[in-house]
Amino acid sequence: MATHLLPTGIQRWPEIHPTTQAAFNQVLWHGGLPRTEIARKLGLSRTRLTAITRDLEAAGLLVEGGREQRSTTGRPAEMLHAVTTAYQFLGLHLHGSSVIAALVDLDGRVVWEDRATLDTESPDELVDVAGEMLRKASATFRVAAVAICGPLARVGLDTASARIRAVDRGHQDRFEREWSVPLWVDDDVIALTAFEQWPQLADGQDSMVLISVGEEIGFGIVTDRRIMRGARNAAGRFDHIPVLADGPRCPLGHDGCLWSVCSTTAVHGAVPDAGSLTEIAARAEAGDELAAVVLERAAAGLGTAAGHLVNLLDPDKLVLTGESHTVLRGRIETFRSALRATHLGGLEVEVDMPEFDFVEWARAAAALALYRCLSADPF
């Protein structure tokens, strides 16, 4: 990777031809590619590829990275690398009245973080905070777009949902006029789904189901390489499916729905004197019978719900995120056995459980801004 001074400021992602963008994306996803591979993947002539790479080099987006031995031909190949530090993308995640922000490079690496607390319910304040964070970040980085994400599409009790719903097209247009870069507003589970799916497009991942465990349980669905949003932007409300006969009752009046056994709110409710989910997991590990029973029930419920989704959609992969890793640590077999019991006669499905911390939501929001800039047909 070439080292150079970082360009700073606020600058839109350049308008480039879709084929040129596709060539850049291939290099980005693969962490570098030989010229011949790019031409092969996109069906380009040598002349066309030369013109495209020249444009990308002139835009500061590609650099030649020396020669690499390729096992297929035995000859050294001329490598091209994406300049992943050329632009940054800012994501804000809203939870209640708190905002966590992350700035990512083109490869999704977090390079800057910030946080703020909102004083009012006004969407103007939220958009102003986004502008202020953009101003701060652009002193050191070149920022191409901003996204605000939160519980937009869920039927939640989170006070952030009213705030983020109030940010309308008018706010976005004003922001773009003032700052010259786009502002997107989207649901946080959609952002997380985009974040997980985008780099996998290179490997031909057509479908995926993402399950995010938290105070609510969010579902992100990718079919035929597109994020499924539904006719009314409300697809993926699967958190109240029945999973346990005679289970506890949820606030909507269901007995034994997924929310009632697996949401962090419900798990806390079932172990009332524990401070955090991590503490409940630690107690279960130390032999506390109640904590263990509650988490086993959560793991099994999650497996049952996942099994129904696999029956319905037959995805390439399941991604378990949010607090899934806390609920399932040491209980992955309980999850898998409930999944197998529900899944009707198919082959075993791949399950991914990435590490997750509080910055991940903001990182996903930033990745959504990146995805929308670099993808001709985002979703």
Residue 240 engages Zn ion in binding (rule: CB under 5 A): yes
Residue 254 engages Zn ion in binding (rule: CB under 5 A): yes
Residue 296 φ then ψ, to 5°:
-60, -45
Residue 252 engages Zn ion in binding (rule: CB under 5 A): yes
Q: Considering only the stretches 35-43, 108-116, 237-245, 271-279, report the one whose residues sit in contact with Zn ion under the rule CB under 5 A.
A: 237-245
CB of 139 to Zn ion, least distance (A): 47
> What are the helix (H) ranges across the chain?
18-30, 35-42, 46-58, 123-137, 160-165, 169-179, 188-197, 258-262, 264-270, 277-285, 289-313, 324-328, 332-342, 359-374
- Specify the 3-state DSSP secondary structure of 298: helix
Q: Considering only the stretches 24-32, 161-169, 242-250, 323-331, report the one whose residues sit in contact with Zn ion under the rule CB under 5 A.
A: 242-250
Beta carbons of 91 and 366 less than 8 angstroms apart: yes
- Specify the 3-state DSSP secondary structure of 141: coil
Q: Considering only the stretches 13-21, 195-203, 220-228, 255-263, report the one whose residues sit in contact with Zn ion under the rule CB under 5 A.
A: 255-263
Q: Considering only the stretches 22-30, 152-160, 205-213, 258-266, report the one whose residues sit in contact with Zn ion under the rule CB under 5 A.
A: 258-266
Q: Which of 28, 250, 299, 338 binds Zn ion (CB under 5 A)?
A: 250
At how many degrees (to 10) do helices 277-285 and 289-313 cross? 110
Q: Considering only the stretches 47-55, 60-68, 152-160, 234-242, report the one whose residues sit in contact with Zn ion under the rule CB under 5 A.
A: 234-242
Residue 142 engages Zn ion in binding (rule: CB under 5 A): no
Q: Considering only the stretches 16-24, 140-148, 243-251, 307-315, report the one whose residues sit in contact with Zn ion under the rule CB under 5 A.
A: 243-251
CB of 143 to Zn ion, least distance (A): 41
- Distance in angstroms (rounded) separating the CA atoms of residues 373 and 367: 10
Nearest residue to 232 (alpha-carbon basis) of 328, 152, 131, 318:
152
CB of 254 to Zn ion, least distance (A): 3
CA dihedral defined by 235, 238, 240, 243, rounded to 10 degrees?
A: 160
CB of 159 to Zn ion, least distance (A): 20
Judged by CB, which is closer to Zn ion: 60, or 242?
242
Judged by CB, which is closer to Zn ion: 13, or 259?
259
Looking from the CA of 180 toward its CB, the CA atoms found within 13 Å total 10
CB of 174 to Zn ion, least distance (A): 39
Q: Considering only the stretches 22-30, 34-42, 248-256, 284-292, report the one whose residues sit in contact with Zn ion under the rule CB under 5 A.
A: 248-256
CB of 252 to Zn ion, least distance (A): 4
Residue 237 engages Zn ion in binding (rule: CB under 5 A): no
Q: What number of other Cβ atoms are within 10 A of residue 147's Cβ?
A: 29
Measure Cα distances from 90 to 7, 124, 143 in Å.
Answer: 16, 18, 7
Residue 226 engages Zn ion in binding (rule: CB under 5 A): no
Residue 257 engages Zn ion in binding (rule: CB under 5 A): yes
DSSP 250: P
Question: What residues numbered 347-366 form the site for Zn ion, per CB under 5 A?
Answer: none
Which residue bears the tokens 């589970």?
189
Residue 243 engages Zn ion in binding (rule: CB under 5 A): no
Residue 261 engages Zn ion in binding (rule: CB under 5 A): no
Residue 284: CB partners within 8 Å, gap ≥ 6? 291, 292, 294, 295, 330
DSSP-derived secondary structure for 180-211? SS-EEEEEHHHHHHHHHHGGGGGGT---EEEE
Judged by CB, which is closer to Zn ion: 158, or 314?
158
Judged by CB, which is closer to Zn ion: 254, or 325?
254
Judged by CB, which is closer to Zn ion: 58, or 245?
245
Residues found near Zn ion in the complex (CB under 5 A): 240, 250, 252, 254, 257, 259
